[in-house]
Structure 1
Amino acid sequence: MGYRFLGATVSLALLAGGPAAAQSTEITIWSWNVAASALKSTLEGFNKKYPDIKVTVQDLGNDQVFDKALAACAAGGDGLPDIVTIENFEAELFWNRFPDCFTDLTALGYTPEMQALFPEFKRTELEVDGAAYSMPWDSGPVTVFYRRDFYEKAGVDPATIKTWDDFLAAGKKVMEANPGTVMAQADFNGDSEWFRMLANEQGCGYFSTDGQSITINKPACVATLDKIKQMKDAGIITAAIWDEKIQANTAGRTASQVFGAWYEGTIRSGSPDLAGKWGVYPMPSLTADGPHAANLGGSSLAISEVSENKEAAFKFVEYALTSNEGQVTMLKSFGLVPSLLSAIDDPFVKEKQPYWGDQAVWTDILSTLPKIKPARGTAFQADADGVYKAVQAKYFANGYPDAKTALDDAAKQIETATGLPIAE
């Protein structure tokens, strides 16, 4: 699942004190759309383990829930549910602005051993000075989804695509062999997705990993932006918004999509008649020996400080997120990619997937989780992203002489907006 989810309501009933009596307690989770449906899919397994805990999931809608959560935190938590789904991308905004809004999960049993079940990159934005305000849910390990038939017609073996230069050269061949098809698409006009994916792979981002300085103009970020413009100028990547990408997938107008792995469900459900024609391969890197791993999207579950049922809420969060059963149920049912490292050993993950040409795509995708480098959003993620998108548009229109000048300008603008220093 990409970008933000929020909103679902979970009512849990906890065993009250003695074995003879149980007291029902309603617990609410805010989540949305596929995320809410995924939570529902875990309830059967959860109730087998906790038969006296009742769970109700309510789908509320994404932007509305994000706004409501911020407003509730600003009001001292008034109106917050017991559990809120928070996207990693926006998490630090909550902890920085409202440090008392959500519970430190370590006080409820989120032990160091439990924390170690997840990769570092998922935890970086959720933990502050030893406190853990949210538990990792799904992730978005980046992969290349590709049309097997288009690549084969061009004589391109995806196993030979190690660098973005390889990707560019392969794109020219694929497009020549398949007239009317582009190698890949990107929302160049409204999103920063490609920059964030490629920069994360290189260990660079808007901010330093300690969140104390601006690093968008560091050499790795400059090389990233330069490479994206090279591919755009070569015509192998064209601009397209979300719906246009889905239409291009179905119509056979694109040979690849580079996205977080949650996009698997978008292709499979959006283009069901193309079963067997799609496959996946690792994202290229700037150099052949690069990590070939990055993350885009993903969320977490946080328990509000005002909740009167924290222990019950934690039982649900623990089951849904720290057990293979909970995480793989959501993967199997709705394509939510686990953050739980042990999920790679699950039998379903190892299965060949018919839609993907009998490729064991989940094994290939989840194997990249330990290689993904942490990135910080800080409380200023939205500010920095807005600055970058404007600079990207100007640079692609040749408004800067080179990528370094463009990102130096972005760094200065972010410095003005946030008060953070530009890293030396």
Structure 2
Amino acid sequence: MRKTIGCAALALAAGLHATAASAQSGEIRVWSWDIAAASLKANIEGFNKQYPNVKVTVEDLGNAQVFSKTQAGCAAGGAGLPDVVSIENYKAESYWNQFPDCFADLKPLGYTPEIAGKFADFKRAELEKGEAAYAMPWDSGPVVMYYRRDFYEKAGVDPASIKTWDDFVAAGKKIAAANPGVTMSATDLDGDGTTEWFRMVGNEQGCNYFSADASAVTVNAPACIAVYDKLKQLKDTGTIISAGWSDKIQALKAGKVATIMFGGWYEGTIRTNAPELAGKWGVYRMPSLTADGPRAANIGGSSLAIPAGSKNKEAAFAFVKYALSTDEGQVTMLKAYGLVPSLNSALEDPYVKQGQPYWGNQAIWTDILATLPKIKSTHGTAFLNDAEAALKTVQTKFLGGGYPDAKAALDDAANQISSASGLPVAQ
């Protein structure tokens, strides 16, 4: 009798699931970019096995276009927006603050506390405002150093010995001497991504544009000044050169750079753009300003949000939930394109513990994901774009010798941000 009841219960549960899945129908459009768009496309097949009546179209518009078109759509009351939008985490709070009615609260759609609790806390911090959750966490950007094994070995440099940025400078001199024409590292110092190094090392040091409660400007705090001092040293010693996104890819393919510091998602960029260099790359933890520093930070990483004007929110949420809150969805994207899961359970997948052939059989995901618990949460405000614009201008002038020291440069940046935002400079 018990067996009969149990079978009946299982059949009923399966029937309810099938009914719920088939109830979702119609079409949804998704805006994303680059490998993020490609990874979402990779999940459509698995999603349609559960939701065969939903047609998903992922549009790869490019990062800048998604941002500008979403901003324009929100400003126009939601006009022209798709059903799902990719949002970079560090820009998320500028949306919630500028356009509080543009995106749907995911909680009424089924984003339960149980689902939310599956994600790393630092990823959720920027996506929730008050009682509402406007986006679901997607990938993380734990910062690591991608390095050329052969260049380091030829110079006799053990990456495990590099714990501080001073160690990094010393190692850079040896690597440049042993490998003519090779520069130790490259980052964007004077282009669209000008602030990337500051944001990575600043996050590691607990330095941000604004205070944790977003009530004051803190970009000229002592921790930030120390970060800027170190950046100037790296630039002046030739340890690091300026290179934008495409320039970095060309440099690493041509064997002109020994190290790239970036988020975990950059793994897929290197692997897909330079397949001919398989076995020559490895990964180690980022340096800190001091030997006892956390050596962990985050840059980039995204989330998925549903515009409030979507005509098919239920189907849109079903896709978001499948792609982001299931191990199957997250690991599919990790395997194909190196997008680092924010979903805690996905970190236990056997694939994460495997040695990766491209990376010299190093179990890079174990090493990269081990930094997640050490990453500090950050917050933005509606004035993040103003802060970024001010710092880009100041940084170019600072690295060109236009300020007497880092403090003067960041004091200027703080005053500019304060004028634009109306927030006081923290004392």
State TM-score, norm by structure 2. 0.91
RMSD, aligned CA: 2.0
1:214-268 Cα offsets, whole Å, 9 max, x none, are 1101111111110111111111111222222222212211111111122112222
CA contact (8 A) 1:93 1:380 kept: yes
- Please report how far the alpha carbon of residue 23 of structure 1 lies from its aligned counterpart in structure 2 after TM superposition: 6.8
1:361-393 Cα offsets, whole Å, 9 max, x none, are 111111212211111221111111111111111
- Specify the alignment match of 2:265 in structure 1: 262
The 2-side partners of 1:17 and 1:308 are apart by: 22
1:129 and 2:130 are equivalent in the alignment:
yes
1:298 and 2:301 are equivalent in the alignment:
yes
- Specify the alignment match of 1:283 in structure 2: 286
- Specify the alignment match of 1:165 in structure 2: 166
CA contact (8 A) 2:28 2:54 kept: no
The 1-side partners of 2:264 and 2:25 are apart by: 38
1:390 equivalent among 383, 390, 393: 393
What are the residue-to-residue correspondences of 1:270-349 with 2, within 5 Å?
270-349=273-352
The 1-side partners of 2:233 and 2:19 are apart by: 68
The 1-side partners of 2:225 and 2:139 are apart by: 29
Distance 1:211 1:250, change over 3 A: same
- Please report how far the alpha carbon of residue 319 of structure 1 lies from its aligned counterpart in structure 2 after TM superposition: 1.1
1:101-150 Cα offsets, whole Å, 9 max, x none, are 11111222222232222222212221111211111111211110001111
Q: Secondary structure at the match of 1:249?
A: helix
1:225 and 2:242 are equivalent in the alignment:
no
CA contact (8 A) 2:22 2:52 kept: no
What are the residue-to-residue correspondences of 1:400-411 with 2, within 5 Å?
400-411=403-414
Distance 1:146 1:22, change over 3 A: closer
State TM-score, norm by structure 1. 0.92
- Please report how far the alpha carbon of residue 17 of structure 1 lies from its aligned counterpart in structure 2 after TM superposition: 11
The 1-side partners of 2:113 and 2:24 are apart by: 31
What are the residue-to-residue correspondences of 1:54-73 with 2, within 5 Å?
54-73=55-74
Distance 1:239 1:60, change over 3 A: closer
Q: When the two structures are aligned, how many residues end up with a matched partner?
A: 410
- Specify the alignment match of 1:354 in structure 2: 357
The 2-side partners of 1:351 and 1:136 are apart by: 24
The 2-side partners of 1:20 and 1:318 are apart by: 13
Distance 1:95 1:21, change over 3 A: closer
The 1-side partners of 2:206 and 2:371 are apart by: 15
Letter in 2 for 1:357: G
- Please report how far the alpha carbon of residue 21 of structure 1 lies from its aligned counterpart in structure 2 after TM superposition: 7.8
- Specify the alignment match of 1:244 in structure 2: 247
- Specify the alignment match of 2:8 in structure 1: none
Q: Secondary structure at the match of 2:247?
A: helix
CA contact (8 A) 1:183 1:254 kept: yes
Distance 1:33 1:238, change over 3 A: closer
The 1-side partners of 2:22 and 2:291 are apart by: 62
- Specify the alignment match of 1:6 in structure 2: none
- Please report how far the alpha carbon of residue 20 of structure 1 lies from its aligned counterpart in structure 2 after TM superposition: 12
The 2-side partners of 1:171 and 1:48 are apart by: 51
CA contact (8 A) 1:91 1:125 kept: yes
Range 54-63 or range 378-387, more displaced: 54-63
Distance 1:315 1:169, change over 3 A: same
The 2-side partners of 1:23 and 1:205 are apart by: 42
- Please report how far the alpha carbon of residue 161 of structure 1 lies from its aligned counterpart in structure 2 after TM superposition: 0.8
- Specify the alignment match of 2:113 in structure 1: 112
The 2-side partners of 1:220 and 1:125 are apart by: 22
The 2-side partners of 1:283 and 1:363 are apart by: 15
What are the residue-to-residue correspondences of 1:133-144 with 2, within 5 Å?
133-144=134-145
Distance 1:273 1:223, change over 3 A: same
Letter in 1 for 2:238: G
Q: Secondary structure at the match of 1:301?
A: strand
- Specify the alignment match of 1:5 in structure 2: none
* Identical columns (%): 65
Letter in 2 for 1:132: A
Q: Secondary structure at the match of 1:27?
A: strand
Normalized per residue, which structure has more helix? 2
CA contact (8 A) 1:16 1:22 kept: no
Q: Secondary structure at the match of 2:85?
A: strand
The 2-side partners of 1:318 and 1:19 are apart by: 14
Q: Secondary structure at the match of 1:58?
A: strand
- Specify the alignment match of 1:377 in structure 2: 380
CA contact (8 A) 1:142 1:294 kept: yes
- Specify the alignment match of 1:11 in structure 2: none
Range 52-61 or range 101-110, more displaced: 52-61
1:401-421 Cα offsets, whole Å, 9 max, x none, are 211111111101110111111
Distance 1:152 1:16, change over 3 A: closer
Letter in 2 for 1:233: D
- Specify the alignment match of 2:82 in structure 1: 81
1:245-300 Cα offsets, whole Å, 9 max, x none, are 22221221111111112211222222222111110000011111211111111111
Distance 1:120 1:19, change over 3 A: closer
Range 27-36 or range 392-401, more displaced: 27-36
1:30 and 2:31 are equivalent in the alignment:
yes
- Please report how far the alpha carbon of residue 332 of structure 1 lies from its aligned counterpart in structure 2 after TM superposition: 1.0
The 2-side partners of 1:74 and 1:52 are apart by: 32
Which sections of structure 1, spanning at least 5 residues, go unmatched?
A: 1-14
Which sections of structure 2, spanning at least 5 residues, go unmatched?
A: 1-15
- Specify the alignment match of 2:103 in structure 1: 102
1:235 and 2:249 are equivalent in the alignment:
no
